[in-house]
Structure 1
Amino acid sequence: MKNTLKTNIGEIVAEDYRTSQVFKNHNIDFCCRGNRSIQEVAEKNNLDAEQLLKEVTEILNQTKADTIDYKSWPLDLLADYIEKKHHRYVEKQIPVLKQYLDKLAHTHGTNHPELFEIREHFYKSADELTKHLKKEELVVFPAVRKMVAASQNSVLLDKFHFGTIQNPIQVMMQEHDNEGERFRQIDGLSNNYTPPADGCTTYRVTFSLLKEFENDLHNHIHLENNILFPKAAELEKQLGDPR
């Protein structure tokens, strides 16, 4: 794919995940807001669009390491991977982070009241993400697997109770946007996860875990918004009208 100033950044990262580092360096959201062109994000962030494209091109011109080409994976395999890697990570880390944030707010909240806001944002995110993952596991991913099976076996697809796959996908993408915005709030309140001068070891560990959680969420959303969902919608078109 030839990248230009009009190429969507989500497509660029989907082609080669190494380019995500360019957008991370400039604090550009390539997962929830991956449907914007290089020109658009450059203007939004007061950057030189040609320079941004040059940085992307330089990454692509480097010898490609053994990076995983998720775009080439069968859709059912990608859905399985997201569920087993990213969903399990979220489920495992939520109680850990809640415990750390409770302790941090109790110990340092008087001098750093922003900790209460950070904790509140995370608790809301944890609640919404827990429900979001179940929707994907019970609705979206089973639908993707059914479409793949129909394609492999050359049979007509049974009609989904929710209509077209685009319906739950749109809901999932909106919820992705909501959580992306929530973590932008957390990022700002924590000064990009930078502990204050009087921050203890627990402070540093908590912020490090929060940053790791956000990074995993970005990767998770990228795989869905920029690869799984568009390819699922395209597969549905290829299968034609359901019976």
Structure 2
Amino acid sequence: MTYLDQSLGQLARRIPGATRVFDQYQLDFCCAGNRTLRTAAGAAGIPPEPIVAELQALQLRAEESSERDWGAATDKELVAHLLGRYHAVHREQLPELIRLARRVEQVHGDRETCPHGLADHLTVMAHELESHMQKEELVLFPLILRQQGALAGMPIELMRQEHEGHGAELRRLAELTNNITAPRDACTTWRALYQGLRAFRDDLMAHIHTENNILFERFAPAQVH
């Protein structure tokens, strides 16, 4: 099977660094990871050849990469990774981002480039993400750790749907912040806010990818189309 006929999720699982390539070309590998590279590139109106070339180069370097292959981890290791690397981190990131966003809006609210409504949007994201993570921690992950993943089809489908909502919220975040690009004369607080937003965005995308394309695929494979 060629690169073009594999899903974005399959390629992201198999080739370390592929997620960065997909992000560069704005291909949604997390919420729409079941689309083939051919389909995704066609829908975006971009030629797939440069993407394939970059993926080939990444695969050649993969043997020398020290990046952990989470696809080879046990269910227990993968759940622990998700909890420590993403759930705990998001709970630290969002309160500080909300605080910084409110500060920027209070001080620079008279400027056209000010991200008006950003703090409120992040507050909504924080509430929805917390609800989502609690469902995983209280329902889905315990099923998996009790080796009852075969019963997890419905919770996984719900989590995938909520991931699509998170993806929409990230797109709105980009709209509010000029794709998280601060004005040239932005103050230190403004720049710190956007640096934190970029880290949060990257972490949330990696979080969704790890769940959708690695953990969930073990118990309820998504249909490739």
Q: TM-score, normalised by structure 2?
A: 0.91
Kindly indicate whether the alpha-carbon contact (under 8 Å) linking 2:13 and 2:214 is maintained by their aligned counterparts in 1.
yes
Alignment-derived partner of residue 214 in structure 1: 201
Kindly indicate whether the alpha-carbon contact (under 8 Å) linking 1:10 and 1:30 is maintained by their aligned counterparts in 2.
yes
Alignment-derived partner of residue 51 in structure 2: 52
**How far did 1:109 drift?**
1.7
Kindly indicate whether the alpha-carbon contact (under 8 Å) linking 2:71 and 2:214 is maintained by their aligned counterparts in 1.
yes
Alignment-derived partner of residue 72 in structure 2: 72
| TM-superposition CA deviations, 1:127-170 (whole Å, max 9, x none) | 100111100000010000011xxxxxxxxx6xx9xx93110101
- Paired residues for 1:91-102 under 5 Å: 91-102=91-102
Over aligned residue pairs, what C-alpha RMSD do you find? Answer: 1.8
The reply on whether 1:115 has 2:102 as its aligned counterpart is no
Alignment-derived partner of residue 195 in structure 1: 182
- SS of aligned partner of 1:5: helix
Distance in 2, Cα, partners of 1:113 & 1:196: 7
Distance in 1, Cα, partners of 2:83 & 2:36: 29
**How far did 1:233 drift?**
3.2
Give the number of equivalent residue pairs. Answer: 220
| TM-superposition CA deviations, 1:71-122 (whole Å, max 9, x none) | 0001121011101221000111121111101101111122137522322221
- Paired residues for 1:137-156 under 5 Å: 137-147=137-147
Alignment-derived partner of residue 83 in structure 1: 83
Distance in 2, Cα, partners of 1:85 & 1:77: 12
What are the ranges of 5 or more consecutive residues in structure 1 without an aligned counterpart? 148-156, 235-243
Alignment-derived partner of residue 153 in structure 1: none
| TM-superposition CA deviations, 1:181-231 (whole Å, max 9, x none) | 111111122122111133101110001101100100011111100000111
- SS of aligned partner of 1:182: helix
The reply on whether 1:227 has 2:214 as its aligned counterpart is yes
> Percent of counterpart pairs with the same letter?
30
The reply on whether 1:17 has 2:16 as its aligned counterpart is yes
Q: What residue identity is the alignment partner of 2:4?
A: L
**How far did 1:6 drift?**
1.4
Kindly indicate whether the alpha-carbon contact (under 8 Å) linking 2:104 and 2:114 is maintained by their aligned counterparts in 1.
no
Q: What residue identity is the alignment partner of 2:47?
A: D
Alignment-derived partner of residue 28 in structure 2: 29
Alignment-derived partner of residue 150 in structure 1: none
Kindly indicate whether the alpha-carbon contact (under 8 Å) linking 2:16 and 2:59 is maintained by their aligned counterparts in 1.
no
Distance in 1, Cα, partners of 2:2 & 2:175: 31
Kindly indicate whether the alpha-carbon contact (under 8 Å) linking 1:75 and 1:232 is maintained by their aligned counterparts in 2.
no
Q: What residue identity is the alignment partner of 1:168?
A: P
| TM-superposition CA deviations, 1:15-69 (whole Å, max 9, x none) | 1231112112112221111111111111122111233222211221225311110
Distance in 2, Cα, partners of 1:52 & 1:5: 10
Alignment-derived partner of residue 159 in structure 2: 172
Q: TM-score, normalised by structure 1?
A: 0.85
